């Protein structure tokens, strides 16, 4: 298989970083993801929207007092895509 066959949605540093973090936890807030990936709020927000549009994650927007709170969670579809991506990577490396 060729590198171009890897899921383009996951084959990007920030989106893959976010998905790997969400794989390991039950749910995570925007601030946690921002801190762990060391990204800017603007870029992270755009990438989260892309993952959400693809159905890989769910984004819940609530309020903590007066502050807006964005909580992200990986979906079953996202989990499957992530597993397929890792399997594809393994195949590629094993060639």
Partner 1 sequence: MFVSLNPDMEKQNDTLNPHQSLDLIASMIQQAKGNVQKSSFYFLLWGWTIVIANLGVYILIKFTDVKNPFIMFAITIPMAVVAVIYNNRQNKTEVVSTHLDKIHKWLWAGFGLNCALIVFVGKFIGWMVNPMIVLMCALPTFITGVMLKFRPLMLGGLVFWIAGTVLFFLRVEEQFLVAALAISLGYLVPGYMLRKSEK
Task: Name the site residues for partner 1 (rule: CB under 8 A).
Answer: 3, 6, 8, 11-14, 16-17, 20-21, 23-29, 31-32, 36-40, 43, 64, 85-86, 89, 92-93
Nearer to partner 1, 77 or 90 (CB): 90
Residue 94 CB, shortest distance to partner 1, in Å, is: 10
Minimal distance, residue 93 CB to partner 1, in Å: 5
Residue 7 Cα to chain centre, angstroms:
13
Enter the tokens of residue 77. 């579809």
Q: Provide, rounded to whole angstroms, the least separation between the CB of residue 68 and partner 1.
A: 13
Read off the DSSP letter of residue 3. Answer: G
Token output for 41:
């709020």
Q: What does the block give as tokens for 32?
A: 């946690």
Cα–Cα dist 23/18, whole Å: 9
């Amino acid at each position: 298989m060729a590198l171009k066959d890897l899921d383009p949605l996951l084959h990007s540093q920030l989106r893959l970083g976010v998905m790997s973090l969400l794989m390991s936890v039950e749910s995570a807030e925007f601030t946690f993801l921002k801190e762990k990936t060391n990204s800017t709020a603007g870029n992270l927000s755009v990438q989260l929207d892309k993952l959400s549009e693809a159905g890989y994650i769910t984004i819940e927007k609530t309020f903590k007092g007066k502050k807006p709170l964005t909580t992200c969670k990986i979906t079953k579809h996202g989990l499957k895509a992530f597993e397929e991506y890792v399997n594809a990577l393994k195949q590629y490396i094993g060639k």
